[in-house]
Amino acid sequence: MGRTRKNTRNRDDISAGVRGIIAGSTEGKCDIDIPDPFCLLIFGASGDLTKRKIIPSIFRLERLNLLPRNFFILGSSRSEMTDDEFRDTMRDAVQAALPDDFSASAWKTFAKRLHYLPVGYTDVKAFKRLSRHILPLEKEHRTNGNRIIYMATPPTVLESIIQNLDDSGLSKKTTGYTHVVIEKPFGRDYDTARKLNILLKTFFEEKQIYRMDHYLAKENVQNILMFRFANSIFEPLWNRRYIDHVQITVSETIGVEHRAGYYETAGVLRDMFQNHLLQLFALIAMEPPSIFEADRVRDEKVKVFRSMRPFPVDGIDDFVVTGQYGEGKVHKKNVVAYRDEPGVAPKSVIPTFAAMKVYIDNWRWNGVPFYLRSGKRLASRKAEISIHFRPVPHIMFSQSMEEEIEPNTLVLRVQPDEGIKLSFQTKNPGSKICLNPVVMDFTYPKVFMLNAYERVLLDCMQGDQMLFVRADGMEQTWSLLTPLIEKLESAIKTDMFPNYVSGSSGPPEADALIEQDGRRWRPL
């Protein structure tokens, strides 16, 4: 891990903006290590992800003084482009992605670090050219042979890239490290994910492989472990004795946008549940690791996946509901049905919404349901985890109160307005017995927050795999979901969809899923 320069930010920056009853500490420093020099080789450099996320994130990290003096980016894809054309395209992309952070003078320096070489992904000769091209650049930028190879490509070309990296010598040991970043989707079921793991492990060690799940890098997702294990007041309550149930919601207002080609082969269960929702679930449910270290944390997450109760093949409807959006209004604007989106089959049976009930068969969670839901074109954009505590065991105010006392709820807001909210009962001033639910609300300030891509890129440069998914975790989640997805796909009929209106909170069956247990979803 590089320690050439330290960027020290006073916690004043970080606690500014804390509101509510909780005040943030203003003592101490938050240190961020500056990584060692590196080369970032991007496959898929003409694609959307490079333009929207990767290059803007590197640019912003440099603006924040979080990168070493020596680094460069070598973009590569099938498109023919010169270095200058690549720089111009990236300039437009960064300007569009970061209108407030863009500065022409900063760009001028940054642009010198950008290089480009076209490569056909199945063409070993082109990879050999790339291998020769990279060496003088590494010398010029003094990157000590440290390479990050970022696969920002569709999964269909991964196999040839990985094979050609080896055949051309690009993945062989250099004087520095080689880290490979793999974007999702990581396979489309258990078998394909396993095959991809086997292929990767033929050429790389696990410690070189960075499987992305950008949800893990969101600020309040990283905070889950700190919140759970750096406070002594919540952990004693974090179990079946005090928790009635947990809800995990990731709702989006956007539709499929321009991604029908991919989404039509995926659907919400592969796109959101196998990765983001199950990762959030594991962080909430896991046991405390002995040490805050990537593999110990990932061990505990895998144990959670192993303890998940498999979905019953018969009676699956009591556990899982799927849906697809019809037309409707989102933010007061008319939007079309999924089946009318460009590139979507007119009778598509791909689900854009799912809700499920999950149990964990272990001592801590026995009998506690976790309700997970996610969908596109819903009423609001929201990612949150809510912990619903059990009601008080005895209501001593029963003679004078008609209503039930609302149980305490702890809400971890992942986005927007990252923060934590705890609700509890107080007495209303004046009247003798009148309970009033109030909240303690902490909102993260926006002043110094790295976005998910900035965080993961930095971690990959630092060699920290905590926020990346390990092979066994990936396979375990697929092994749970694959039979479920196959069962649902075999039972689906064209006339079942669309079954929810865009801008609503999903299909009515999703409400029934939780209401049959006498509970209710938190409103979107």
Binding site for ligand BG6 (CB under 6 A): 184, 252, 271, 383
Query: Smallest gap, in angstroms, from Cβ of residue 118 to ligand BG6?
Result: 27
Residues 453 and 168 sit within 8 Å (Cβ to Cβ): no
Contacts of 347 (CB under 8 A, 6+ apart): 339, 494
Whether 214 is a known active-site residue: answer no
CB of 275 to ligand BG6, least distance (A): 7
Instruction: Give whichever of 160 and 443 is closer to ligand BG6, judged by the CB atom.
Output: 443
Rounded-to-integer distance, Cα 520 and Cα 73, Å: 49
Least distance from ligand BG6 to the Cβ atom of residue 306, Å: 24
Instruction: Please identify, using beta-carbon distances, which residue of 147 and 184 lies nearer to ligand BG6.
Output: 184
CB of 271 to ligand BG6, least distance (A): 5
Q: Determine the longest span between alpha carbons in the chain, in angstroms.
A: 84
Query: Which residues lie closer than 8 Å to 180 by C-beta, 6 or more apart?
Result: 148, 149, 151, 171, 200, 204, 208, 209, 210
DSSP SS3 for 387: strand
CB of 18 or CB of 354, closer to ligand BG6: 354
Least distance between ligand BG6 and beta carbon 87 (Å): 27
Distance of alpha carbon 502 from alpha carbon 353, whole angstroms: 11
DSSP class per residue in 174-210: -SS-EEEEEPSP--SSHHHHHHHHHHHHHHS-GGGEE
Residue 255 or 328: the one with the smaller Cβ distance to ligand BG6 is 255
Residue 495 DSSP symbol: G
Token digits of residue 413: 């807001």
| 328/336 Cα distance (integer angstroms) | 7
Q: How far is the CB of 522 from ligand BG6 (least distance, A)?
A: 17
Choice between 67 and 383, CB closer to ligand BG6: 383
Comparing CB distances to ligand BG6, the nearer of 149 and 456 is 456
Measured torsion, CA atoms of residues 11, 17, 21, 25, in degrees rounded to the nearest 10: 0
Q: Which is nearer to ligand BG6, 36 or 252 (CB)?
A: 252
Minimum Å distance from CB 147 to ligand BG6? 25
Tell me how far, at minimum, the Cβ of 185 lies from ligand BG6, in Å: 8
DSSP 79-131: S---HHHHHHHHHHHHHHH-TTT--HHHHHHHHTTEEEEE--TT-HHHHHHHH
Are 77 and 119 in contact by the 8 Å Cβ rule? The answer is yes
Cis bond upstream, residue 391 (ω within 30) = no
Residue nearest to ligand BG6 (CB): 271
The token pair that represents 163 in the structure block:
């094979």
From the list 115, 141, 276, 388, the catalytic residue is 276
Q: Output the CA–CA distances (angstroms, integers) from residue 464 to 69, 71, 205, 302, 457, in the order listed.
A: 20, 19, 14, 18, 10
- Least distance from ligand BG6 to the Cβ atom of residue 154, Å: 13
Structure tokens at 159: 């196999």
Sheet containing strand 243-251, edge to edge, reads 320-323, 353-358, 370-375, 243-251, 382-389, 409-415, 419-427, 435-443
**Pick 251 or 482: Cβ nearer ligand BG6:** 251
**Which of residues 168 and 348 has its CB atom nearest to ligand BG6 in the complex?**
348
461: CB partners within 8 A, 6+ apart: 2, 35, 36, 38, 67, 148
DSSP 36: P
The residues annotated as belonging to the active site are 276
